[in-house]
Structure 1
Amino acid sequence: MRVSTRFSDAIHLLAFLKIYDQQHLTSDLIASSIETSPVVVRRLMGKLRQAGLIKTVPGSAQPTLAKPLDQISLLAIFYAVEGDKPLFSVDPKTNPDCIVGGNIQTVLRQYYQDAQTAAEARLAKTSLQDIVDNLLVEQAKKEALS
């Protein structure tokens, strides 16, 4: 099963909009950084626009952030691109006649819910500003070492 990268791609896209806000930003340019297709970028931008995280003008290639970085949480980005789907899912099809198969769903459900709650709380506390700041620190380290 392939894991979705929509969430990390959306964070990437938003950080790119901020860091390269003085450039002519097209879906082709953004896609070249994410290493995906411009179609995928446009789909992500549509979801981010619907969530009120970016502004776009039809026919114009210059998307912008709709809010300051510190007002965009990672949780808001997650909900924008993934909806409210759970981070973890329990296999609903197990053998009910087995000790493990007959009880695993009930046992895991609470652990998964606790993990989901903790992850959402952490994402809510982390802003896009945190991400951009860390990206710039990492770049500065690379430049200092070269």
Structure 2
Amino acid sequence: MRVSTRFSDSIHLLAYIKIYADTKLTSDAIARSIETSPVVVRRLMSKLRQAGLITTTPGTAQPALAKPLSQISLLSVFYAIEGDKPLLAVDPKTNPDCIVGGNIQTVLKQYYQDAQTAAEARLAKTSLQDVVDNILVEQAKKDAHK
């Protein structure tokens, strides 16, 4: 099973909009940075717009953040893209006649819920400002080594 990268691609997209705000922000340009297709970028932007995280004007290549970076939590980005989908899922099809198969869902459910709660709390505390600041710090390190 392939793991979705929509969440990280959306964070990438939002950071790109902020860092490259003074350039033409076409879906092609953003897609080149993410290394995906412009169609995927437009789909992500649609969800981010519906969630009130970005604004767009039809026919222009200038999406903008709808809120300051510090007011956009990673949890709000996750919900915008994934809805209320859980981070982890227990396989619902196991053999109920087996000791493991008959009990694994019940046992893992609480562990997974604890992990979900901890992840949501961490994502709620982390803002897009934190992400952009760290991107710029990492770039400064690279520039210093040139």
TM-score range normalised by the length of the shorter chain: over 0.9
Query: 2:116 aligns to what?
Result: 116
4+ runs of 1 displaced by more than 2 Å?
A: none
Q: Aligned-pair distance for 1:4?
A: 0.4
Identity fraction in percent: 82
Deviations 1:43-100 (Å, cap 9, x if unpaired)? 0000000000000001111000000000000000000001110001111111111111
Query: 1:96 aligns to what?
Result: 96
TM-score (norm 2): 0.99
SS at match of 1:84: coil
Query: 1:67 aligns to what?
Result: 67
Q: What pairs up with 1:11-50 in 2 under 5 angstroms?
A: 11-50=11-50
Query: 1:86 aligns to what?
Result: 86
Unaligned runs of 5+ in 1: none
Q: 1:134 corresponds to which letter in structure 2?
A: N
Structure 1 vs Structure 2 CA RMSD:
0.4
Q: 1:52 corresponds to which letter in structure 2?
A: G
Q: 1:35 corresponds to which letter in structure 2?
A: E
Unaligned runs of 5+ in 2: none
Deviations 1:7-53 (Å, cap 9, x if unpaired)? 00000000000000000110000001000000000000000000000
Query: 1:9 aligns to what?
Result: 9
Question: Using the alignment, how far apart are the partners of 2:37 and 2:11 within structure 1?
Answer: 16
Deviations 1:89-117 (Å, cap 9, x if unpaired)? 11111111111111000000000000000
